[in-house]
Structure 1
Amino acid sequence: MLLVRKRYVVPTLVLISIAYFIFSTLPPGADVSYIKQTSANDIIKSAKDGSHIRWSKHEEQYPIADYISLPTSSPSPIPRIQYDFPSEPWFNRIWRKRKQKAVREAFKHAWKGYKDNAWLKDELSPLSGGYRTSFAGWAATLVDSLDSLIIMGLTDEFDQALQALNDIDFSTTESLQINVFETNIRYLGGLLGAYDLTNGTYPILLKKATEIADFLYGSFDTRNRMPQSRWEWTRSAAGLAIRPSGNTILAELGSFNLEFTRLSQLTGDPKYFDAIQRISDNLEAAQKETQVPGLWPMMVDAQSLRFVDTRFTVGGMADSTYEYLPKEHMLLQARTPQYQRMYESAIASIKDHLLFRPMTRDGKDILFSGNVNALSKSSHQKIEPQAEHLKCFLGGTVGIGAKVFNRSDELPIARKLTDGCIWAYDIMPTGIMPETLYLSPCEHKRDCGWDEKKWYRDIRRRPPKHANIADTDAAAKALIDQFKLPPGVTEIADSRYMLRPEAIESVFIMYRITGDKKYQDAAWRMFKNIDKVTRSKYGHAAITDVRQTKPAQLDYMESFWLAETLKYFYLIFSDPDLISLDEYVLNTEAHPFKRPS
């Protein structure tokens, strides 16, 4: 009997300690003024009997009296986005279909690896055949890939995934913290995209979408209705009031528009649109008051709604906030001018403060978007010439904005941004762009001849790694050899390729906008090079160094490889009416939402 008692005493003490930790160690911004006294006991009881804490609808701390409804004014005409493609010669169709088939085969290889080794887990580990729990353990890759399965005609695989949805319980997770942004774009976006693509044939998709949205909606239950982006959901489940963080990533605040708007359109429930519209109103109110008017800083104080950070970029931590402006305009059928105003203010500032032309030996007229650290509005704001794979979405976004807002003078900018990312792929030994690199910027965008001496100087000035090198051309040449720097590149700060989709995203969009076959040619080069060095036994793996012709692989295959990257490669070789940009809006995870007609 003594042995039996000991067996239960230790686990019980551990569970009580965990419960104490949950309720005594509150996250930044948590409010302890309202606590249900029975909550800790309930959680301990749930843990004892082996069940999880479950989320259910409950009385809100800060309920909404009057919801902001979807705009009801008459829709305004939106110009056509896609190029008017002519009839295709039969021999062109044969070659295009062969390329499309190769992409589909790559997808099937990675999907099989996931299905055989990581089914109903978040992500496959493509080298070991294991799995990772990255996003609450709700089968992120499965949900994220639903519409890719539909698009590629993998009917049996889609049916199997659809059946598996019944086994996913969005009311509970072992994760104590939820990344609300990632959950929104991958799970909610994936379910809504599949629902729209199948014209509502499968009600379970909308049912599950509503479940995950109602769960996420709890993160908005704050005093100012701004979400707690890294949400301590168990505290909310226990009746603890929460507050948004004083350090919220911009993209994690401003990237709910499409998903929540589409759900309100489909369900008729205004609460989802209300949630995102309050964010948009606050963003617009602050847009012209930041240190770089027109742009929002990388970090936002969502608790006090202050936008005082001095760092500005359209790359990681900011990207999809800008991407969603023209897309939300389209999804709302241009019933409100708000998102056009916000986009036009942003694009003017992006052109003035962030875009730069790099030096290239062959004088290519290309553009990249850098970063700015503005200590004050009056300070001289020098562009940090950082190119980043995550920023490669911008060419497609500017292209869409140029079309839907009749800003035709910006279509060449969209081309140059997209061509810049293609160039960054082509100059690397693997034919793949790295995560982050720094370039030697032109003094003038229109007059930019190659200057070898300037390139050497810019390499020597890259802090802090090269701070103590000699101020000589020989020293710069030694760094070029040591770090394998292509002409015009001053540093490769992160040499990995993480299976990212942003470059092919813009290449696809620019092909659909312009009909220029060079984008299909570039896509084929990119795909062949990526498939060659990332293919592994169980799927496709991220790589360590794009400068190596045979780079080492990493045991990572994020869900966006199947949800985005391969989808865009497949679509650029598809018939142009498959996921037409005049019929669908794609969220930042490439999930297609039907534009209301």
Structure 2
Amino acid sequence: MVPLLRRWLFYAVLATAILFILIRAAYTFNGPHIPHRRHTKSPIERLVHPGIWAPKFKWSNVASRHPVEKLTVLPSGPLAHIPQIQHDFETESRERRSEREARLAAVLEAFEHSWDGYKKNAWMQDEVAPVSGECHNGFGGWAATLVDSLDTLWIMGLRADFEVAVSAIRRIDFTTTPLDELNIFETTIRHLGGLLSAYDVSGQKYKVLLDKATELGHMLYVAFDTPNRMPMTRWDWKNAALGGPQQAARNSLLAEVGLSLEFTRLSQLTGDNKWYDAIARIMDVFEDSQSRTKIPGLWPVFLDTKHADFTRDTTFSIGGMADSHYEHFPKQHLMLGGRSEQYRNMYSSALDSAKANIFFRVLNPENKQLLLAGTIKRHTSLHINLIPEAQHLTCFAGGMVALAAKVFSQPHELSTARQLLDGCLWAYDSMPSGIMPESFHAAPCKEAADENCTWTDAKWFSAIINPATTKKKYSDVDETPEVIESKAHATIKAAKLVPGFTRIVDSRYLLRPEAIESLFVLYRITGDHTLQDKAWNMFQSISIATKTPIAYAGITDVTELDSKWIDTMESFWTAETLKYFYLMFSKPDVISLDDYVL
């Protein structure tokens, strides 16, 4: 009897010790406090204090502080007539097909190299660092490269990788992020756009893609819960989740305020109008203010969203911080099936103003008809300065104008589109690396008329030493021709300028897609096969300069043949740049512009 009692005592002590160890382990893993279920106040405690038990938090359950009484619904009724967009391509010759397929294979190889580098070094992280092999997580830590590249995987026929990536999507938790502040614009275009585009191109067969897009959409929608329903573009998500007050900023970027495409598509696919309502309210303010800005027809780069005043600022551009706002007008018209004239009207007014104020003819040795998009500074109604600074980001304009020319039956604008594209191609061809810099100043012609845009070295020299200019004329230069030439030559040598360039503002190339996107759109619309050759030259130059043992990297200086790498590869390289190169050499019926809005 005594031995049996001792045995039971031994087991009791052993069980107590094991229980103590398990409790300590739970304490260490979950934090210093693990309250009982009845002590949990709300699911948000799980986000703020991960160690506290709570039901799974859902953004769709967050109560609105400023609810919408009546939602704006998607336009209904019969589809408007949309003219055919793509060119009627003829059957290609055997030689051209062989050349095209070889180029297509080279682009596919570049993508696979980039994707393998991401998979091996940064799987489920936002981006791979293509030089060091480390990870970058600046976009919520939600696997930005993976999500953003889903449609590219499908289009390129990499179905096994696509299936693996879709399975991984289930593990992304859009209820929380390590970041204190979330960029609503970047999250929308990379994550929400990536999920929705993959859902569509894959034939809407993968429900998880729409489910995750909806989950993310509920989160983003809370950023619009302000007194005037203007969005919090840089968003304190924890404050919002806890029900704290929020209001839009006095200075918001133009490009970050209009999120029309992704929100519209989410409403179309889910049947829930709340996302369309969110952007429709903003677009109504844009429409109402368009004729009352300092440069009527255009909107300033900075907007006062706190007071819904889009008219105050005096800087105007279609480049960085403004670009996608204008780009989306013809695309949104297509997305809505032409059922609303709002986007057509805003686009037409914006284009007229851009042609009069922002687009400028470029002085160049070949006397080609080239257009670039600059920046306008309005001081007074009589003192409006054009800063002839072109950006790689503005190279989307050629594709935008070409697409709109077809959609809105404006064939005469195709020449404008081609001149905008040729301006960017000229910038690529002018650099020793064959790659356009991030931003630079060019010599604008004094007048748009051909006879006043003939190249002379003296005009170029004058523009170099006297960069201040208006849309119509240079300021007078109070120097002798000999002094002007001497000063110009010194600047040319020091700044490594090539004919037509007057200043290199930012010599980097960041793997951006805008130029190849416009090339692709113009090719599909016009059928001009010479554009495929230009795209191939562009691809070769980029590949030579940016390929690393791990993936592809931005470079520091396009004016050098052997530039240093930058240890970043943003998700748009695989999601956009390589996708457009691939489509450039695909058969024309692959992702036809008559079937998809890109």
TM over 0.5: yes
Name 1:148's counterpart in structure 2.
152
Paired residue type of 2:175 = S
Equivalent residue number for residue 460 of structure 1: 465
Percent sequence identity is 47
Deviation (angstroms), 1:455? 1.2
Name the amino acid aligned to 1:449.
Answer: T
Partner of 2:574: 562
Match of 1:390 in 2: 393
**One-letter code of the match for 1:222?**
T
Structure 2 counterpart of 1:571, which letter? L
**What's the CA shift string for 1:237-263, capped at 9, x where partnerless?**
111021011100000001x11111111
Instruction: Give, in whole Å, the separation in 1 of the partners of 2:293 and 2:543.
Output: 43
| Cα shift at 1:52 | 12
Q: Following the alignment from structure 2 to structure 1, what is the Cα–Cα distance between the partners of residues 44 and 230?
A: 30
Query: Match for residue 500 of structure 1?
Result: 512
After superposition, the Cα gap between the structure-2 partners of 1:130 and 1:310, relative to the gap in structure 1 and judged at 3 Å, is: same
RMSD after superposition = 2.3
Q: How does 1:176-575 map to 2 (within 5 A)?
A: 176-254=180-258, 256-306=259-309, 307-376=311-380, 378-445=381-448, 446-447=450-451, 448-462=453-467, 471-575=483-587
> Which residues in structure 2 correspond to 1:30-109 (within 5 Å)?
42=45, 46-47=49-50, 49=52, 56=59, 57-109=61-113
CA distance in structure 1 between the aligned counterparts of 2:234 and 2:45, rounded to whole angstroms: 24
The 1:273/1:573 distance shift into structure 2, 3 A limit, reads same
Give the C-alpha shift of residue 475 in structure 1.
2.1
Counterpart code for 1:156 = A
Tell me which stretches of 4 or more aligned residues in structure 1 moved more than 6 Å. 37-41, 50-53
Amino acid aligned to 2:199: Y
1:383 partner SS? strand
| Greater radius of gyration (CA) | 2
- Measured against aligned partners, the alpha-carbon deviations of 1:443-495 in whole angstroms (never above 9, x if no partner) come to 122221112112112211248xxx9x995322210111121101010000000
Q: C-alpha distance in 2, partners of 1:331/1:166?
A: 28
Equivalent pair of 2:267/2:276 in contact (CA under 8 Å) = yes
DSSP 3-state at the match of 2:128: strand
Any gaps of 5 or more consecutive residues in structure 1? 14-36, 587-597
Amino acid aligned to 1:335: R
Query: TM-score by structure 2 length?
Result: 0.89
Offset, 1:169? 0.7
Q: Residue 139 in 1 paired to residue 143 in 2?
A: yes
Q: CA deviation at 1:42?
A: 4.0
Aligned residues: 550
CA distance in 2, matches of 1:85, 1:45: 57
Q: 1:45 to 1:83 in 2, by over 3 A?
A: closer
| Separation of aligned partners in 2, 1:150 and 1:245 | 39
Residue 295 of structure 1 deviates from its aligned partner by 0.3
Taking structure 1 as the reference length, what is the TM-score of the superposition?
0.89
- Do the aligned partners of residues 402 and 238 (structure 1) sit closer, same or farther apart at CA in structure 2, a change above 3 Å counting? same
Counterpart Cα distance in 2 of 1:40 and 1:132: 29
Measured against aligned partners, the alpha-carbon deviations of 1:362-389 in whole angstroms (never above 9, x if no partner) come to: 111110111101123x223232111110
Q: Distance in 2 between matches of 1:418 and 1:41?
A: 50
SS of corresponding position for 1:368: strand
The question of whether the paired residues in 2 share the 8 Å contact of 1:54 and 1:172 is answered with no
| Contact preservation (8 Å) 1:460, 1:471 | no
SS state of the match for residue 288, structure 1? helix
C-alpha contact 1:55 1:237 (8 A) present in aligned 2? no
State the distance in 2 between where 1:552 and 1:349 align: 40
Cα pair distance change 1:97/1:151, threshold 3 Å: same
CA distance in 1: counterparts of 2:508 and 2:366, whole angstroms: 26
Instruction: Give yes or no for contact 1:123–1:557 (8 Å, CA) kept in 2.
Output: yes
Deviation readout 1:331-367 (Å, 9 max, x if unpaired) = 1011111111111111110111111111111111110
Shift of the alpha carbon at 1:438?
0.2
Which secondary structure state, in structure 1, belongs to the residue aligned with residue 135 of structure 2?
A: strand
